[in-house]
Amino acid sequence: MASPLESPITHHPSRLFVLVAGEASGDLLGAGLIQALRERYPDARFAGIGGPRMIAAGLEAWYPAERLAVMGLVEVLPRLFELLAIRRDVARRAIALRPDAFIGIDAPDFNLGLERKLKRAGVRTLHYVSPSIWAWREKRAAKIGRSADRVLCLFPMEPPIYARHGVDARFVGHPLADAMPLEPDQADARAALGLPHDAPVLALLPGSRLGEIARLGADFIAATRLLAGRVANLRVVAPMANEECRAAFAALARDAGFAIHEAGTDPAEAGDKAPIVRLLSPQSPIPNPQSRPLSHLAMFAADAVLLASGTAALEAMLAKRPMVVAYRIAPTTYRIVKGLGLLKTERYALPNILAGRELVPERMQDDCTPPALAEALAPSLLGRDIDPALLAEYRRLHLELRHDADRSAASAIADVLDATTAARAA
């Protein structure tokens, strides 16, 4: 299959790394890793699949990361043949180039099969970001070990699980914990977003994919309308991952009778108690001297966050904000997962997984309804004070995850390369 972006690599450099990342969070991890590897190997070359951050860091992209951005058992079917063709093409290129290491960043459905094929061909393979083996079947750890020579884990509870199955795994920390301040400045964030300092603010993060917005967006908006009837002077800010998500969410909000504002000022509130939704997107003209993601600014500014389960829940924890975590997948996918007993945890939100108990409310599948979401959010918006015990636990978990992750991951990769060099020299 011809690639839309051909790599200019024509020779084997001093160090060559092939990386594959499939969504925005992987792109962020990959960019930091490329920069840390370049500190160790200044002449290194990087190729594979990545997003704009990885490309800016020096990746020679064979395909853009958004080509892999699909989730769910049912949702992937229409694109299955395309994804398999891309994977075959990446495998062919990597085997021909013989890189020093292949690094699959998250995207386990795509990367683990690719890693297994490359490992059999003699390429050193690493998988960065462990799949959720604590949530699904733990025995997957052994299968992952057959694909990756080493697994780089973001969370400290993961390596012991791999160790039980004889798999080499290292905790490297989470880059978000390194990047996020221990004490976010709410006043500065509100000033940047044009929000008043004394009004209750709700941040809405319905997901970074169009499918998530289709499943959750209308319920988030309906919950917001319910809250507007209970919380005086409510402001709402909704950071969007890209322009496509912004357009989709704006259409849902307008259909529900909401006014849309592109942020930056604080206009008069709309009538009938429906607040204006301030949409943020990468093109929003927001003063942001520290170049923080707009989703982080929105969380810093908020008194409460309503979000789709995933990395955003970790970000809200690091932002030290009360949250409600929502999750809904396609009904057919859900029935398959539950019917086969594939899900092994009753907790979904990362703060709850890390704490080993329920820190934040979860509203999942059939329990994810506008009244349930509004009821769980209302106390934080009405009281506007975070529970000191919750804040202390957030801070403890933040410090536990701080590990200079980019450099730790690069060091773990370098150890594999050094071991390979030593073995060949012996």
Q: Please write the tens of the pLDDT for every residue from 14-47.
A: 899 999 998 878 998 999 999 999 999 999 999 9
Range 368-393 average pLDDT: 95
Among 337, 357, 336, 354, residue whose Cα is nearest residue 396: 354
Interval 92-120 mean pLDDT: 96
Please give the pLDDT value at position 7.
Answer: 45
385 or 331: which carries more pLDDT confidence? 385
d(CA 301, CA 294): 11
State the sign of the Cα–Cα–Cα–Cα dihedral 211, 216, 218, 221: negative
Q: Which CATH architecture group holds 16-173+403-425?
A: 3-Layer(aba) Sandwich (3.40)
What pLDDT score was predicted for residue 80? 76
268 pLDDT more than 70: no
Sheet strands side by side (includes 125-128): 59-64, 45-50, 16-21, 101-105, 125-128, 150-153, 169-171
H/E run at residue 294: helix 294-301
Query: DSSP secondary-structure letter at 65?
Result: G
pLDDT at 393 over 80: yes
Q: What average pLDDT does this structure show over 364-388?
A: 93
DSSP element (H, E) containing 333: helix 331-339
pLDDT over 90, % of the chain: 65
Taking 80 as the threshold, does the pLDDT of residue 340 lie above it? no
Q: Which amino acid would we find at residue 91?
A: A
Quick one: pLDDT band at residue 290, thresholds 50, 70, 90?
low
Phi/psi of residue 326, each to 5°? -110, 150
Query: What distance in Å separates the CA atoms of residue 45 and residue 173, rounded to the nearest whole number?
Result: 25
Q: Which residues contact 335 (CB under 8 A, 6 or more apart)?
A: none
Q: Which residues pair with 60 in a beta bridge?
A: 47
Whether the pLDDT of residue 352 is over 70: the answer is yes
> Sign of torsion, CA 342 344 345 351?
negative
Taking domain 186-401, whether its CATH number is 3.70.10.10 is answered by: no
pLDDT of residue 242: 86
∠ CA 381-386-391, nearest 5°, is 150
Virtual torsion, Cα 280, 281, 282, 284, nearest 10 deg:
-50
With tokens 């395309």, the residue in question is 82
Structure tokens at 157: 């509870």
Q: For residues 379 and 2, which has the higher predicted lDDT (pLDDT)?
A: 379
Q: Mean of the pLDDT values across residues 356-371?
A: 93
Phi, then psi, of 116 in degrees rounded to 5: -60, -45
- Closest to 225 (Cα-Cα) out of 263, 277, 302: 277
pLDDT of residue 3: 46
Mean pLDDT over all residues of the chain? 87
Confidence bin at 420 (pLDDT 50/70/90): confident
Q: Report whether pLDDT(375) > 80.
A: yes
Rounded Cα distance, 44 and 99, in Å = 11
Quote the pLDDT of residue 257.
86
The answer to whether 63 and 83 have CB atoms below 8 angstroms apart is no
Q: Which residue has the higher pLDDT, 305 or 210?
A: 305
Q: In angstroms, what CA-CA distances link 322 with 203, 347, 395?
A: 11, 17, 13
Instruction: Give the pLDDT of residue 344.
Output: 58
- pTM exceeds 0.85: no
Going by pLDDT thresholds of 50, 70 and 90, the confidence category of residue 83 is confident
Select the more confidently predicted residue: 287 or 418: 418
Domain ranges of the chain: 16-173+403-425, 186-401
Mean pLDDT across 339-357: 77
Q: Indicate the helix (H) or strand (E) that contains 201.
A: strand 201-205
Output the pLDDT for position 424: 73
| Domain pair 16-173+403-425 / 186-401, same fold | yes
Rg over alpha carbons for the chain, rounded to the nearest Å, is: 22
- Which region among 66-70, 165-169, 325-329 has the lowest average model confidence (pLDDT)? 66-70
Q: Are 25 and 111 in contact (CB under 8 A)?
A: no
- H-helix or E-strand containing 86? helix 80-97
